[in-house]
Amino acid sequence: MTHNLQFYIDGSWVAPAGGATLDVVNPATEEAYARIAMGERADVDKAVAAARRAFASYSRTSRKERVELLSSVIAVYKKRYDEMAAAISDEMGAPLGFARDAQAAAGLGHLSQVLEVLKTFEFDEVINRTLVTREPVGVCAFITPWNWPMNQITCKVGPALATGCTMVLKPSEVAPMSGLLFTEIMHEAGVPAGVYNMVNGDGPSVGATLSSHPDIDMVSFTGSTRAGIAVARAAADTVKRVAQELGGKSPNIILPGADLSKAITHGTRQCFSNSGQSCNAPTRLLVPRDQQEAAIEIARKVAEQTVVGDPRDAATTIGPVVSKVQFDKIQALIEAGIAEGARLVAGGPGRPEALNRGYYIRPTIFADVRNDMTIAREEIFGPVLSILPYETEEEAIAIANDTVYGLSSYVTAASLDQARKVGRQIRAGMVHLNGAPGDLAGAFGGYKQSGNGREWGKFGFEDFLEVKSMFGFEAA
């Protein structure tokens, strides 16, 4: 990759306004392997101005033109697919197989879904004599995270391209290499100059400038709830649209009569997947109190079978967490669980044996967790599972809903009808019934402090569209 120390603005790779740089650290080795340029206000102003100029023409492109453009992006993405998987693995520690089969695949999946939605999306609707038309919202700012980099970049860039918006992307500075590669893909695919722009930088400089910029019409942010609040505050003075996908503390309710072995095994693996670095991970496992000991043994077996190690080793199940900051935070929360009286039944503080470097976390399980404990309240973002026993179905639902978050949830029951009944009572944007996977045609997003707006499928178009009513459009 040759553009690490440049930004992509108005269809060209350009030098940054300043000279600040940042090392990119491989979390498996704790060693820097690349360096990126860090932007400032002048870079943001230049990128936004380019996007504003391009909006005048790109917003008026036809459905056919946008279909062709997205098809071109997908073709180039496929050509550079293995490069993308390798970039993600190096920057955030995902095992190479997982980076290929899940991380890079998520990007391709979303782009493909956006293309299919665009082909039939109804931008115009006639009601009585009124035309209700949906038009591009304008210039968009995208601030994306490090944990699922291509998933979140394509969730934003894809619908923006499809609806006629122009944009400025700020990828995570912690894991920026996939974002640089994606930008090369966009350039090679022939995205018109100014439609897509990319500036690297951190939140307090580039992120805050984008959020408050008067020529940005909409900002879409994915990250922590704390940072999301800062984005919303920065955006408030210009009354721009803000879409946010934030934190989660997702409950996983196992109801009496469910297949305990299957449900616990599946839920524990999901919790540990991606080293626990997923906002929708099922981190609170709710089990009937009289089944807690059986659940512990099943979950402990999963922890023992989880291989923590080098992302390039084919035997590795999970790699390191992304950074020392995350490693230290997770260690502190594991210690808090012990100090507050939760029963440690697997894992615990420190690195796994034989791993003396790299930000590796031991797959950790706590039992006898109360919902007022820190490990049940805070998003840990590591491979840490809390088992909470309950007495009745009503208590399980109450515990599940007793959180400031409301992103995802999971319900497993002996019958689908029972799972549906409980699922309807969970205050969350998503519910997985009886182990069902996510559906890219569905809506991704949360209630409460997990954010607002929705991504994926046709629902992902809505935040990028303004609704205009043209009264008297149809002749009387």
Across-strand partners of 142? 169, 220
Distance CA 99, CA 92 (A): 10
Is residue 331 within 8 A of residue 380, CB to CB? The reply is no
Is residue 163 within 8 A of residue 464, CB to CB? The reply is yes
Catalytic residue among 140, 165, 271, 279: 279
279 is an active site residue? yes
Q: Measuring CA to CA, how many Å separate 303 from each of 194, 314, 350?
A: 48, 18, 15
Strands 31-37 and 21-26: antiparallel
**Rg value, the chain, Cα:** 23
Distance CA 59, CA 67 (A): 14
* E strand segments, 106-211: 124-127, 130-136, 139-143, 166-170, 196-198
Distance CA 392, CA 263 (A): 18
Is residue 401 within 8 A of residue 427, CB to CB? The reply is yes
What is the full DSSP assignment across 386-439?
EEEEESSHHHHHHHHH-SS--S--EEE-SSHHHHHHHHTTS-SS--EETTPPP-
Tally of CA atoms within 13 A in the half-sphere of 347 that contains its CB: 34
The residue behind tokens 């974002």 is 179
Is residue 429 within 8 A of residue 447, CB to CB? The reply is yes
What is the full DSSP assignment across 219-242?
EEEES-HHHHHHHHHHHHTTT-EE
**Intra-chain end-to-end CA distance of the chain, in Å:** 60
140 is an active site residue? no
Catalytic residue among 245, 271, 379, 455: 245
Distance CA 347, CA 420 (A): 34
What residues are labeled active site?
A: 245, 279
